Copies of this chain bind each other. A is one copy, B any other.
Amino acid sequence: MSQRVKIKQILLSDKTDYEVTVKGWVRTFRNNQFIALNDGSTNNNLQIVIELDTDPALQRRLTTGAAISVTGQVVASLGKGQKVEVKARELEVLGDCDGEKYPLQLKNRPSLEYLREIAHLRFRTNTFGAIFRLRHSLAFAVHKFFNEKGFVYLHTPIITASDAEGAGEMFRVTTLDLKKPPLTVDGDIDFKEDFFGRSTNLTVSGQLEGELGAMAFGDIYTFGPTFRAENSNTARHLAEFWMIEPEMAFYDLKDNMDLAEEFIKYVIRYALENNREDLEFLASRLVEEEKSKPQQDRSEMGLIEKLEFVLNNEFMRITYTEAIDILKNSKPNKNKKFQYLVEEWGTDLQSEHERFLVEKHFKKPVILTDYPAAIKSFYMKQNEDGKTVRAMDILFPGIGEIVGGSQREENYDKLVKRMEELHIPVEELSWYLDTRRFGTAPHAGFGLGFERLVLFVSGMTNIRDVIPFPRTPKNAEF
């Protein structure tokens, strides 16, 4: 028998008149003759032609979802939509698929909501096939980008005893018996008896550990799961998500912005070059989806047009202070159309303000810098004005914040003073402060939520549709 060949490879070539074995799943079978076969290597199906006099019992098993193996000749196709097809010489059903029970067969056009409930099968649809091949390419491009630049990929810990970052609510990790936990003499839970001999949680960020790496390797990045135990049931939040956090010694805020912009453009370009078919499919899916919306709610650009627009335009860079001025004088603020009116400097920006800046005012990605210290984290470098920090947030149309970063405060005394102001336990973070005690240097970094990137590039609107098995409040299926 000939070697199995993937469908993507056969369709990529015009070559004909050679024998192949292909294996995959039946998408459709029509006219007792034409099988559309998919093996997951591409969204495109390979047409298999069988003899009209093929055993009817065998034909009845060629249902949607059935796994088959076919050996036959690749020939030029006379049909529309494909250059080549395979004339079957041998056909074997490897696994049947009962159409009366198969969830993907039961509904003609299963909704995204329904497919979320059968997340273990949704990979088999065109939409999720395209999304997760795209996600793969974006993940690979992340590694490729940093590897080419000489960054070291650092696996920062998932289980951590550090709870000092204040980045959000955390999940506890424990092996204690919840029904009879050991207690101290004071009646508190005795975490000395827990697996790690102390109270531990799932990480909310690898940044602090990443900084330790940057102070040795110069440039590092993380790419791993992070967690938030927040009860946010929105289309933008997950309890478990993947984050990319580069950290660079000797970088200031401008270097940091340059890198982030270059990075985002690199991975989008990689997807455009390597996943054109998936993106074209997702682009037409988006057009279909938006047909049910009123005209003014539809995207101004198509998906691919939007991605190319991001590649071909510089991100707008403005300070928080400039943004406040723009917002204060904006029409929706003057006409009281904002839910939260922008009145004074120092207030945190709401999603509606970010959307106005990105989607209405500048109409492109915006990098906001130099936020008030009071609304940002303790480790950000303090500006000389005494009230702002060298923070940067990158805001994307339709997504909001996709990147958050900053230059870090490298001065030991200033950092400790700020920690004390915020009641962050200095002693517990002694290891972190060692980077400022021993050979401190200016450095900067950022975090990019990977699912938000996939959301943007895929044109999907619910973050649960771009991670294989979403974890959200009251939901940890599969």
Contacts and interface: CB of A to CB of B under 8 A. Distances in A.
Interface stretch (A151-159, A286-294, A300-308, A351-359): A151-159
B67 A213 contact: no
Given A178-B172, A212-B120, A224-B225, A249 B476 contact: no
A401 interface: no
19 contacts: A24-B218, A39-B249, A41-B218, A66-B439, A67-B249, A101-B438, A121-B216, A123-B217, A133-B152, A135-B153, A139-B153, A140-B153, A155-B242, A155-B468, A156-B468, A161-B477, A172-B175, A196-B475, A198-B476
A471 to B, nearest CB: 5
Interface string A30-62: 000000000111000000000000000000000
A212 B123 CA distance: 8
A119 B175 CA distance: 25
A40 B140 contact: no
Interface string A414-432: 0000000000000000011
Contact of A158 (B97, B155, B225, B431): B225
Contact of A469 (B39, B69, B156): B156
Contact of A95 (B97, B121, B441, B471): B441
Contacts of A41: 150, 217-218
B6 A157 contact: no
Interface residues of A, number: 105
A4 B443 CA distance: 14
Contact of A218 (B6, B120, B161, B212): B6
Report copies per complex: 2
A343 interface: no
B155 A213 contact: no
A268 to B, nearest CB: 17
A312 B108 CA distance: 54
A179 B172 CA distance: 13
Interface of A: 4, 6, 8, 23-26, 39-41, 65-67, 69, 94-98, 101-102, 120-121, 123-124, 128-129, 132-133, 135-136, 139-140, 143, 147, 150, 152-162, 169, 171-176, 178-179, 181, 188-189, 195-198, 200, 202, 209, 212-213, 215-219, 224-225, 227, 229, 231, 239-240, 242, 249-250, 410, 431-432, 434-442, 467-469, 471, 473-478
A218 to B, nearest CB: 4
Nearest to A175: B229
B476 A239 contact: no
A439 B101 CA distance: 12
A467 B326 CA distance: 48
Nearest to A231: B195
Contacts of A195: 171, 229, 231, 239, 473-474
Contacts of A139: 143, 153, 155
A288 B181 CA distance: 48
A174 B175 contact: no
B172 A476 contact: no
A274 to B, nearest CB: 10
Contacts of A224: 224-225
